[in-house]
């Protein structure tokens, strides 16, 4: 009997994916938080033309460490490399994201994002004992290396930046929608975005894009642009955001 080994590739059925509704086969990038409607639309067009770029500024991981008195907290920031972000949110739940980032979004096939190098963010509850101990050791090792081995200390700094780039912290005490300031700072709601990150610019291709969503009043303009400057994306699924609310 021939006992040749076989490579088995698991392909989840559509029915299985329907049952697991808390994750998505499409990762979404919403554009232009804090921008005008025109700026958001132009940003979306720019991404389609030139690719998804990492942020212009370094990101930071913010957490709170206890002061020596054991009662109050010190705000601590862990520096990180600039990143680009996607969100693993099912289509039916995009209205939650809409409240923060608006109605302009590009959906990428998860397989394309994975193949490029995106990875899920590591979420940490900053008041857990394990995380607090981890950060204490991180600081102590850094101080030790600065004094004893300059070369290894440089690599350690790179490690810290990488850690900051793929980590997000917060705490879980109240519902974010009850406090606008808390929601803006993403303290209590820090993991509901199911964020994925990359440290590199992504010159994606039309085949990588699953869908483009815009406000209803921008759909006509988008369709015209898809006939012109964005013709490679002409066959990409496009929809008005009102359709998301109807699904």
The pLDDT tens digits of the residues spanning 40-68 come to 999 999 999 999 999 876 666 666 666 65
How many angstroms separate the CA atoms of 236 and 212, rounded? 7
How many angstroms separate the CA atoms of 134 and 130, rounded? 6
Per-residue confidence band for 193, with pLDDT thresholds at 50, 70 and 90: confident
pTM of the model as a whole: 0.81
The pLDDT tens digits of the residues spanning 80-120 come to 888 999 999 988 888 878 877 889 999 999 999 999 999 99
Q: Sign (positive/negative) of CA torsion 179, 183, 188, 194?
A: positive
Q: Hey, is 239 helix, strand or coil?
A: strand
Select from 91, 109, 100 the least CA-distant residue to 213. 91
């Amino acid at each position: 009997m021939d006992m040749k080994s076989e490579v088995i590739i698991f392909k989840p059925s559509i029915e299985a994916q329907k049952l697991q509704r808390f994750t998505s086969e499409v990762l979404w990038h919403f554009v232009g938080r804090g921008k005008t409607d025109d700026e958001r639309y132009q940003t979306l067009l720019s991404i389609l033309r030139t690719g998804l770029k990492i942020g212009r500024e370094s990101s930071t991981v913010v957490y709170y460490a206890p002061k020596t008195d054991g009662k109050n907290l010190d705000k601590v920031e862990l520096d990180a490399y600039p990143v680009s972000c996607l969100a693993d949110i099912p289509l039916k739940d995009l209205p939650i994201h809409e409240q923060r980032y608006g109605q302009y979004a590009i959906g990428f096939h998860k397989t394309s994002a994975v193949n490029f190098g995106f990875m899920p963010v590591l979420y940490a509850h900053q008041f857990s004992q394990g995380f607090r101990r981890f950060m204490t050791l991180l600081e102590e090792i850094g101080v030790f290396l600065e004094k004893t081995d300059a070369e290894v200390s440089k690599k350690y700094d790179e490690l810290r930046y990488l850690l900051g780039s793929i980590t997000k912290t917060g705490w879980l005490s109240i519902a974010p929608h009850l406090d606008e300031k808390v929601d803006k700072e993403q303290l209590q709601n820090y993991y509901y975005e199911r964020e994925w990150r990359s440290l590199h610019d992504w010159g994606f291709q039309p085949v990588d894009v699953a869908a483009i969503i815009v406000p209803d009043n921008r759909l006509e303009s988008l369709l015209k642009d898809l006939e012109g400057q964005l013709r490679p994306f002409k066959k990409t699924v496009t929809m008005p955001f009102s359709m998301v609310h109807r699904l």
